[in-house]
Amino acid sequence: MISESRHPMTGNEMSPEARGGMERHAYDVVVIGAGGAGLRAAIAAHEAGARTAVVCKSLLGKAHTVMAEGGAAAALGNRWPEDSWKVHFRDTMRGGKMLNNWRMAQLHAQEAPDRVLELEDWGALFDRTEDGLISQRDFGGHKYARLAHVGDRTGLELIRTLQQRTVQLGIDVYMECTVTEVLKDGGRVAGAFGYWRETGRFVTFEAPSVILATGGIGKSYKVTSNSWEYTGDGHALALRAGATLINMEFVQFHPTGMVWPPSVKGLLVTESVRGDGGILRNSEGKRFMFDYIPDFFRSETADTEEEADRWYDDKLNNRRPPELLPRDEVARAINSEIKAGRGSPHGGIFLDIASRRDADYIRKRLPSMYHQFKELADVDITAEPMEIGPTCHYVMGGVEVDPDTQQSAVPGLYAAGEVSGGMHGSNRLGGNSLSDLLVFGKRAGEDAAAYATTGDRPTVDEADLKAAQASALAPFEVEGGENPYTIQHDLQQSMNDLVGIIRTAPELEESLGELERLKERADRMVVEGHRQYNPGWHLALDLRNMLLVSECIAKAALARQESRGGHTRDDFPGPDPEWGAKNLVLSIDADGTGVEIAEKPLPVMPDDLQQLFEDK
Amino acid sequence: MATTDHGVTSAGRARIDARTLRQDRWWLSPLATFVVFAGFVVFATIRAFMGRDYYASPYLSPFYSPCLGDCVEGASDFGQPFAWWPLSAALIILVFPLGFRMTCYYYRKAYYRAFWLSPPACGVAEPHGSYSGETRFPLILQNVHRWFWYAAVLVGLVLTFDTVLAFRPMPAEYAVGDGETSGVHMGLGTLLMIINVVFIWLYTLSCHSCRHIVGGRLRHFSKHPVRYKLWTWVSRLNESHGTWAWYSLFSVAIVDFYIYLLATGVIQDVRFF
Amino acid sequence: MAYDLKMRVWRGDADGGELTDYTVEVSEGEVVLDALHRLQATQTGDLAIRWNCKAGKCGSCSAEVNGRPRLMCMTRLSDFEPSETITVTPMRTFPVIRDLVTDVSFNYEKARELPYAELGPRDADGKRRMMQVDVERGQEFRKCIECYLCQDVCHVVRDHEDNKQHFAGPRFFIRYAELDMHPLDTHDRRKLAQDAAGLGMCNITKCCTEVCPEGIHITDNAIIPMKERVVDRKYDPLVWLGNKIGLRNKDNDGRAEV
């Protein structure tokens, strides 16, 4: 059983200083976040010999990675021997409208197969081909069937495998513990400061390397597939620590989220539904995607229903159905159909697989979708179409990092997974997220472990700790203000309305004004009760991060005067080659309450890779 | 507040005094199981100890088959090796089907819940102070279920044989018309025995041990396609193991009771041909 | 279709607590978790709830609704009469932290005690080959979202605190089964399952299967097969005899007992 000196929740040994004063722990590498990227980073750091800890807001194994459904993209070539990292690289760059950091896209395409095979060594059970190899499925934007998958619960398989590996290696995990500050010693990282959600007590981690693996920002939007944890913590921590963010204007709206009932609005409906034969229809019964094929993808997209339907069985001689265009294209098309009044009764459009595949096939390939609609909406997807609409799903933007090491501008501060930026350019392809987590999680973990052994250990400044504590407790000090739930609600509404799929300059300006007002309201918010497991207080602290990140999105969206990938401006409808050559870089302003924006040219792709785009 | 309790009111757990907060009629199912089982046990015990009225040619009661003791004429198709046995012949062989059912994974669930209240229903606190499951004598003997299954297969074969014999022509005293005593006959008793033997086989073959033995123990189904096929069939039957357990329990009692009624002359067999 | 729902929610911590009455407005299509969130946002901001995905995929919001272990996000209000009072309590098998949040560290302790997958070397081309039929049984168990409702409902620990030490519970029995059925794993965990994990404590009363939100056939497909595998190893004279005369199940070759 658990001994007295162990934490009851985690079983971790607590340091002697914990009694009375603040709990302190010393590590080489501290990973913030226990999703796919965080756990993969922790495993890599541990295997590189570093004393490693994972700190996460939820219980181990609950992170948002479990929600990933479709699969992990990796050019294993199990279905199509023609597939290779070069094709995957090309698909990724084209999906991101060439705004990706080419080096990250290259490393990702090259290393994803190894990272997936490694999971199998650790006990993952992927679906198999007839030859017993890992099966691979079709997804939007991928030329070949490339997604290693387990039914439609691949994320669960991935996180469970990594979780079990983490526990097996004996890595310390601090569960239900939120980090509120990255601590520094001069210009470099010195550790992290946070609190136990359970007790409200503070805890300090002293470590030369801190890896951010906190995921995305979706909770700033009203209609989102993201869970409460997605409050942009890592983005905000990085900004406040002095690192920079890029590509924040690019927010991916997944084309297919549930629209009814209201309590699950936004909940993800996997792209596999379309990969396995599902099609989109409007209220007139029209398969409308054929009207929305952009020139950029015209040569590789079917223009008749007959050709599209043949493609599922004969991929060599037919072009892809337009339902499998990259997500940004499909989301915009759905948005237009709904706006034109051709939507479904609950304000979505129809996603139909019932009339296209038999019931057994659907239940076998899409078990959790079947379950989800049956239980939550009373809809049998083997008998009737689903009603779906776009939902905020993923942020392409994130911490600007070195592509090989994932280190940010701050020495010792790393970012991996959704919280890092650059890999996906202006739009992420489905399936590239799970492989991104694995590839760059490992790279970040290895380099963080190596960095931790260089030079002398940094020391934490006691004054910084005092300030961090005061800041965390501030919401208890105020009287007479608003509760954080109201402010969060207003923020989500305003981001949804003003910084959504289709954007215009006046609306973006309005949103920035609204954000300023929300910030003022947040300064005066109050929380009731005490520090022990108090969700109101937790939200109050997360809300600061949400506000800061929302400002980044709105500012960058206003600055980028073109439409590209996950960023669509009604007043600048097309892509602009000049904008296609630069990133927008955000940093914290001088008084630490707002953000500043700057332009920066994209790194130039070497000729041999450039060649891949000219051949065809 | 610390308590000395050991279950849902243990120290540290959410302080709720009620042993369950379920509002549905959770007690209905264990109660029904209790009543029906108890009824069967009483009936079967009486019938097993009676030692008579178990044979009405050509029908032999399943409680007495195979009849190995000092049985009535015509009932012993496998000889009488236990002719010296002073008590009812049923007691010699009943231990096998009884053991099979007592150690059956389905029946265990049913009687642990209904008779032992361990637990009476899900989320309802059980009344026992301590619990060691099936780790000690006598319950560790539940592990011999497989042995009873082997025996149950033999019993099933014997009952099948009995059912075939139930097509025998009837003896002269039951014959209708001009005393026809040759050829094939079928009566209501034959039909009941067919139904019974079908349920007995469904119950026996859907057994969890059977499922394990035919293929469940394998790690590589792909290397044993035939056993895999068998396993999928047994698995499908196994989903309704509990249903077959009940049906076969009723059918065995009905067949026995029908034969009892014939043997005591209360009714006459209904003859189809 | 909005109406006022009457709820009784357990509020308190390890030192004590009680069922507290609330009335909250709810509407069509909502689940118990929605009602609690509205309580949180409008009436009692510090109501502690553990939740994440709100889609039945992460297994965080486990609690007991009207005495039955459920995921709050998958318990639809339409399953109840509008006039009915819905009682929500924390899981009653684990120590309470606050309100509806319990300390589930028991499960993480048990996870640590379990020997993990240990596969042999890969094939020559660096890949592994496993047939779909061979991985399917394990895949059913890997659907587990670790909501721990099976652990909560299991009377072995729910009604007997002292058994926690020697009993891993249904969640980990499916893990043992998963590994034992893995086509490439090299460990034989049957002895451990029986001894350290306390497989024999289970009296297969099937409540774990009844509450599993993923519909995993915990008892029929994992626990009973594991019990049968233990029987293979220990209680089956035919197997013993077969081993003595050199007739044995070659399917287990390459496995070593841990």
Average pLDDT over residues B169-178: 57
Q: Is the pLDDT of residue C241 over 90?
A: no
What's the pLDDT band for A616 if we cut at 50, 70, 90?
low
Q: Is the pLDDT of residue A18 over 70?
A: no
- What torsion do the CA atoms of A113, A117, A118, A123 make, to the nearest 10 degrees? 150
Q: Count Cβ–Cβ pairs < 8 Å, chain A vs chain C.
A: 187
Smallest Cα distance from C9 to chain B, Å: 11
Contacts of A596 (CB under 8 A, 6+ apart): A586, A587, A588, A589
Which residue's structure tokens are 């940004």? A328
Q: What is the set of domains in chain A, with CATH numbers?
A: 256-392 (3.90.700.10), 478-581 (1.20.58.100)
Domain regions of chain B by residue span: 50-263
Catalytic residue among A90, A94, A235, A274: A274
Helix axes B145-165, C224-234, angle to 10 degrees: 100
pLDDT of residue A2: 37
Lowest mean pLDDT among A363-367, A597-601, C123-127: A363-367
Q: Which chains touch C (3 or more CB pairs under 8 A)?
A: A, B
**Cβ separation B131–C96 shorter than 8 A:** no
Smallest Cα distance from B251 to chain C, Å: 25
Domain boundary among C102, C120, C135: C102
Domain boundary among C102, C124, C158: C102
Interface of A with C in 521-580 (CB under 8 A): 527-530, 532-537
What's the pLDDT band for C246 if we cut at 50, 70, 90?
confident
C145/C227 same-domain check: yes
What's the pLDDT band for A258 if we cut at 50, 70, 90?
very high
Phi, psi at residue A177, to the nearest 5°?
-135, 125
Q: Is the pLDDT of residue B4 over 60?
A: no
Interface of B with C in 235-254 (CB under 8 A): 238-239
Chosen for mutation from C49, C86, C92, C157 (greatest number of chain B CBs closer than 10 Å) is C92
pLDDT of residue A10: 47
Average pLDDT over residues B113-141: 94
Under 8 Å between Cβ of B262 and B254: no
C86/C115 same-domain check: no
Sheet holding A188-196: strands in order across?
A23-26, A202-206, A188-196, A177-185
Q: Is the pLDDT of residue C90 over 50?
A: yes
* Closest A-chain CA to C104: A9
pLDDT of residue A307: 95
> Whole domain around residue C209: which residue ranges?
105-257
Domain boundary among C102, C125, C148: C102
Contacts of A59 in chain C (CB under 8 A): 50, 60, 104
* Closest C-chain CA to A377: C29
CA–CA dist A442, A397 (Å, integer): 20
What's the pLDDT band for A448 if we cut at 50, 70, 90?
very high
Smallest Cα distance from B146 to chain C, Å: 8
Specify the DSSP class assigned to residue B214.
Answer: I
What's the pLDDT band for B191 if we cut at 50, 70, 90?
very high
Q: Is the pLDDT of residue B25 over 60?
A: yes
Smallest Cα distance from C65 to chain A, Å: 17
CA A559 from centre of chain: 23
- Average pLDDT of chain C to the nearest whole number: 93
Facing A198 at nearest CB: one of C97, C109, C139: C97
The count of domains in chain C is 2
Q: Is the pLDDT of residue C102 over 90?
A: yes
pLDDT of residue A21: 62
C48 interface with A at CB cutoff 8 Å: yes
**Cβ separation B133–C198 shorter than 8 A:** yes
**Cβ separation C60–A528 shorter than 8 A:** no
C234 interface with B at CB cutoff 8 Å: yes
B140 interface with C at CB cutoff 8 Å: yes
Q: How far are the Cα atoms of A34, A48, B235, C65 from residue C144, in angstroms, in the given order?
A: 18, 31, 21, 21
Q: How do residues A106-155 score in pLDDT, each as one tens digit?
A: 999 999 999 999 999 999 999 999 999 999 999 889 999 999 999 889 99
CA–CA dist A148, A117 (Å, integer): 10
Which residue's structure tokens are 């409808």? A573
B229 interface with C at CB cutoff 8 Å: no
**Cβ separation C52–A1 shorter than 8 A:** no
Facing C12 at nearest CB: one of B8, B15, B109: B15
Q: How do residues A275-323 score in pLDDT, each as one tens digit?
A: 899 999 999 999 999 999 999 899 999 999 999 999 988 888 999 999 9
Contacts of B145 in chain C (CB under 8 A): 231
* Closest A-chain CA to C14: A532
A374 interface with C at CB cutoff 8 Å: no
Contacts of C103 in chain A (CB under 8 A): 8-9, 198
C143/C212 same-domain check: yes
CA–CA dist A100, A91 (Å, integer): 11
Chosen for mutation from B3, B6, B16 (greatest number of chain C CBs closer than 10 Å) is B16
**Cβ separation A58–C60 shorter than 8 A:** yes
CA–CA dist B125, B8 (Å, integer): 7
Contacts of A377 in chain C (CB under 8 A): 29
A254 noted as active-site residue: yes
Average pLDDT over residues B28-34: 97
C7 interface with A at CB cutoff 8 Å: no
What's the pLDDT band for B241 if we cut at 50, 70, 90?
very high
Pairing of strands A136-137, A188-196: unpaired
Domain CATH for C155: 1.10.1060.10
pLDDT of residue B172: 55
What's the pLDDT band for A615 if we cut at 50, 70, 90?
low
Domain CATH for C27: 3.10.20.30
Q: Which chains touch A (3 or more CB pairs under 8 A)?
A: C
pLDDT of residue B157: 97
Q: How do residues C167-199 score in pLDDT, each as one tens digit?
A: 999 999 999 999 999 999 999 999 999 998 999
B202 interface with C at CB cutoff 8 Å: no
Contacts of C69 in chain B (CB under 8 A): 122-123
Interface of C with A in 60-89 (CB under 8 A): 60, 74, 76
Q: In this prediction, what percent of chain A has a pLDDT beyond 70?
A: 96
CA–CA dist A463, A156 (Å, integer): 42
pLDDT of residue B181: 55
C127/C98 same-domain check: no
Facing B218 at nearest CB: one of C69, C206, C251: C251
Lowest mean pLDDT among A440-444, B195-199, C79-83: C79-83
Q: Is the pLDDT of residue B3 over 50?
A: no
Average pLDDT over residues A422-426: 96
* Closest C-chain CA to A2: C109
* Closest B-chain CA to C186: B219
Facing C251 at nearest CB: one of B24, B146, B220: B220
C63/C131 same-domain check: no
A473 interface with C at CB cutoff 8 Å: no
C104 interface with A at CB cutoff 8 Å: yes
Average pLDDT over residues B15-28: 95
Contacts of A227 in chain C (CB under 8 A): 52-54, 58
Query: In A103-132, which positions are buried (b, 16+ CB within 10 angstroms) versus exposed (e)?
Result: bbbbbbbbbbbebbbbbbbbbbbbbbeeeb
Average pLDDT over residues A259-267: 89
Smallest Cα distance from C179 to chain B, Å: 10
ipTM above 0.90, yes or no: yes
Contacts of A211 (CB under 8 A, 6+ apart): A29, A30, A31, A32, A38, A41, A45, A406, A414, A415, A416, A444, A445, A448
Chosen for mutation from A125, A225, A488, A527 (greatest number of chain C CBs closer than 10 Å) is A125
pLDDT of residue A385: 95
Q: Is the pLDDT of residue C239 over 90?
A: no
Q: How do residues A367-422 score in pLDDT, each as one tens digit?
A: 889 989 998 898 999 999 999 999 999 999 999 999 999 999 999 999 999 999 99
CA–CA dist A413, C67 (Å, integer): 47
Contacts of B239 in chain C (CB under 8 A): 220
Which three-class secondary structure state does DSSP give residue C106?
helix
Specify the DSSP class assigned to residue C66.
Answer: T
Helix axes A36-47, A154-169, angle to 10 degrees: 30
Average pLDDT over residues A446-474: 95
Contacts of B230 in chain C (CB under 8 A): none
C130/C81 same-domain check: no
| Strand locations in A161-290 (E) | 172-174, 177-185, 188-196, 202-206, 209-212, 245-246, 251-258, 279-281
Q: How do residues B72-122 score in pLDDT, each as one tens digit?
A: 988 998 999 999 999 999 999 999 999 999 999 999 999 999 999 999 999
Under 8 Å between Cβ of C210 and C153: yes
pLDDT of residue B174: 53
**Cβ separation C108–A10 shorter than 8 A:** yes
C47 interface with A at CB cutoff 8 Å: yes
**Helix%, strand%, coil% for chain C, nearest 5:** 40, 20, 40
Contacts of C68 in chain B (CB under 8 A): 22, 122-123
**The overall pTM is greater than 0.80:** yes
Q: Name the most confidently modeled range: A24-28, A476-480, C233-237.
A: A24-28
Facing B16 at nearest CB: one of C10, C15, C220: C10
pLDDT of residue B273: 83
Q: Is the pLDDT of residue B176 over 70?
A: no
CB atoms < 10 A from the CB of B225, how many? 10
Catalytic residue among A254, A319, A365, A443: A254
pLDDT of residue A19: 43
